[in-house]
Amino acid sequence: MQVSQQIVGQFRRKRLLIASTVAALVIILALAFRFFEEKSRIEQLSHTFASEAIQRFDRMFSPLDVSANNTLGLVGLRCTDVRFPLVEKLATLQTVRVLLLVENDSIYCSSIFGDRTLSFSELYPELAVNNQRMLLTTDNYLLKGSPVLMLWTPKSLDNQSGIVQVINIEMMSNYLLEPALPWVERAIFNVGGKSLEYGTPLIQPAIPSEDEVSYEEASMRYPFSITLFGPSPARLALMALPSQLPLALLLSLLMGYIVWLATANRMSIAWEISYGLSSQEFIVYCQPLINAQTGGCDGIELLLRWHNPRQGWVPPDVFIPMAERQNLIAPLTRFVITEAVSHLPSLPDNPAFHIALNVAASHFHDRAILDDLQHLWWPANPRPQLIVELTERDALPVVDQRVVAHLQKTGVKVAIDDFGTGHSSLSYLKTLSPDVLKIDKIFTASIGTDAINATVTDMVISLAQRLNISVVAEGVETAEQAAYLRERGVDTLQGYYFARPMPLADFPAWLSAHQSDQMT
């Protein structure tokens, strides 16, 4: 029972290990999924912020383009004639500080200062010479030192005439580039290699700090771009993980519990036995039955052994009771019968040779053992005598006792195995009329050491002889025990003293060697 409990405990520990492993994997995968999902979401938010910022600037510049094109007709006219129209135009453009008219590479008119005479190409070579449409620079005339954006709209192909709109970019950037914390900490407006950062009234290179990452997106319509600086999306996603832990933990516990329930059958001894049968992990052994008087081998008892690659050798007193409780003993018995039939050609072809087969009481229900013998044993036309050994872990109902009687009518001998233990009683001797009584090994072991059990052994032997029932003594391990049992007329001896259980395939070689030893 202790070994049985150990194996059941091993199955439970395996189930717990698998359920715990699955739960751990689920919580890791759930957190990993949430991490990558949050990281992707933050990256997408940054892209969306930059795209929307560019769209806002594009929408701001678009009406300025239209206004400049409509005003190009004023270029070339005298400043005194066009200054008031320029002021009126300026009033409608809230984002523009100054309008400048350029003709023949000369800035000759300002909406604020009136007549001017300034070299356009010397002051703003980027616009006049390099043909840029935008210039980010510093205001040197109106609000000295403040950043401005100059939007150049040429009138002639030689780039010598046109209109310059000086835009209050600091105000616009503060309005259109407000960072979206925490994924965007700094937003920068870039034109021609120069940068203006939100909240900073200086035009200077924007450099990310050590723990910041950058993302840049350019406008498709105008020569500017937006650069964003902020914490790494991975770091922000990692910081958000603790808030996801309760849900991930709940999910992992749920999955672990589902796996625990799902493995209840698969990780059970019943599943192991069924799998062992299909995977040919069971091996049929046999132990010789020795004639107590002649010393010859009168037969064998078929025994089932289980080598489980996952557990090692599982003792019969562990898996047999478990198989009975799980209603799997009948398939195991069928396997033994099938293996015995396959080895019949190598066994003695003699009716005096006995083949003993252990059959649980449950196998007698609904005539199952009769059906199995009809389909598996009799079609092989066996010559050896079949003995069905009834194990006594369960009491045999009256209806199944009739099955025993039917077996005896077909020529099958019936033995009561382990007589004196389990549910055995003297009433079995009357109701079953067995052909053989097998004395349990605990009584054999008491010979010479335990007077009470030895007395019980003598009584069982005497009772069987009075009823003309053959007696087989199990568990004979010493010459003293063998001599004692011979003296009392026991018919057959079985135990390690004569031979240990061996694979059925090895029995012919053992029998040959045993017969040779008898003749010498």
- CB distance 377 to 341 below 8 Å: yes
Q: What pLDDT score was predicted for residue 510?
A: 94
Q: Calculate mean pLDDT across residues 38-61.
A: 91
Q: How confident is the model at residue 78 (pLDDT cuts 50, 70, 90)?
A: very high
Is 28 inside a domain boundary? no
Q: What is the pLDDT of residue 10?
A: 63
The C-alpha angle with vertex 180 and arms to 178 and 184, in degrees rounded to 5, equals: 100
pLDDT digits (tens, 9 = 90+) for 352-365: 999 999 998 888 88
Judge whether residue 425 has pLDDT over 70.
Answer: no
**91: pLDDT strictly greater than 70:** yes
Query: Burial of 497 by CB count in 10 Å (0-12 exposed, 13-18 middle, 19+ buried)?
Result: middle
- Tell me how far apart the terminal alpha carbons of the chain are, to the nearest angstrom: 45
Q: CA 488 to CA 256: how far, in whole Å?
A: 63
Mean pLDDT within 441-460: 79
pLDDT per residue as tens digits for the range 296-314: 999 999 999 998 887 778 8
pLDDT at 8: 57
Per-residue model confidence (pLDDT) at position 236: 87
CB-neighbour burial class of residue 332 (10 A; exposed 0-12, middle 13-18, buried 19+): buried
Split into its structural domains, the chain has a count of 1
Mean pLDDT of 310-330: 80
Lowest mean pLDDT among 144-148, 171-175, 511-515: 171-175
**Max avg pLDDT among 146-160, 173-187, 443-457:** 146-160
Is there a domain that residue 248 lies in? Answer: no
Of 105-109, 360-364, 420-424, which has the strongest mean pLDDT? 105-109
Q: What is the CATH number of the domain that holds 385?
A: 3.20.20.450
Separation CA 142–CA 124 (nearest Å): 17
- Per-residue pLDDT for 254 more than 60? yes
| pLDDT at residue 395 in the model | 60
Q: Considering only 114-118, 176-180, 332-336, which range has the smallest mean pLDDT?
A: 176-180
Among 79, 129, 81, which residue's Cα sits nearest to residue 107?
Answer: 79
Q: How high is the pLDDT of residue 244?
A: 83
Rounded CA Rg of the chain: 51
Does the model's pTM come out above 0.75?
Answer: no
Question: What whole-number percentage of the chain has pLDDT above 90?
Answer: 41
Consecutive H or E run containing 286 = strand 282-291
Tell me, what amino acid is at 108?
Y
| DSSP result, 309-329 | TTTEEEPHHHHHHHHHHTT-H
Share of the chain above pLDDT 70, in %: 92
In a domain, 90, yes or no: no
Q: What angle do CA 126, 131, 134 make, to 5 degrees?
A: 65
Mean pLDDT, to the nearest integer, of 142-162? 88
Q: What is the mean predicted confidence (pLDDT) over 420-435?
A: 71
What's the distance, CA 271 to chain centroid? 20
Q: Is 390 domain-assigned?
A: yes
> Which band of pLDDT confidence, cut at 50, 70 and 90, is reported for residue 3?
very low
Residue 77 lies in a domain: no
Domain membership flag for residue 163? no
> Could you give the angle at the alpha carbon of 329 between the alpha carbons of 323 and 333, nearest 5°?
140
C-beta separation of 334 from 302 below 8 A: no
pLDDT at 267: 47
Contact 179, 227 (CB under 8 A): no
Residue 166 in any domain: the answer is no
Give the β-pairing of 502-503 and 282-291: antiparallel
Cβ–Cβ under 8 Å, residues 163 and 184 = no
Q: Supply φ then ψ for residue 318, to 5 degrees.
A: -100, -55
- Residue appearing with tokens 């751990």: 24
Q: What is the pLDDT of residues 218-249, one digit of tens each?
A: 999 999 999 999 888 888 888 888 888 888 88
- Banded model confidence at residue 268, pLDDT cuts 50, 70, 90: low
Mean pLDDT of the chain: 86
Q: Provide CB contacts within 8 A for 230, sequence distance 6+.
A: 46, 179, 182, 183, 184, 185, 186, 212, 213
pLDDT of residue 201: 83
Three-state DSSP class for 112? coil
Residue 88 lies in a domain: no
Strand ranges (E), 159-281 = 162-167, 186-191, 194-197, 212-218, 225-231
pLDDT tens, position by position, 364-407: 888 899 999 999 999 999 999 999 998 755 566 665 778 888 88
Cα–Cα nearest to 285, from 257, 314, 306, 309? 306
Query: What confidence score (pLDDT) does residue 382 get?
Result: 92
Evaluate if residue 469 carries a pLDDT over 70: yes
Cα separations in angstroms, 274 against 119, 264, 265: 99, 14, 11
Q: Which domain holds residue 439?
A: 269-344+353-515
The SS3 of residue 198 is coil
Q: What is the rounded (10 degree) CA torsion for 76, 78, 84, 90?
A: 30
Pair of tokens at residue 127: 């616009």
Is the peptide bond between 501 and the residue preceding it cis, with omega within 30 degrees of 0? Answer: no
State the Cα–Cα distance between residues 262 and 27, nearest whole angstrom.
Answer: 19
Stretch among 174-188, 289-303, 368-382, 504-518 having the lowest mean pLDDT? 174-188
Identify which has the larger pLDDT, 430 or 30. 30
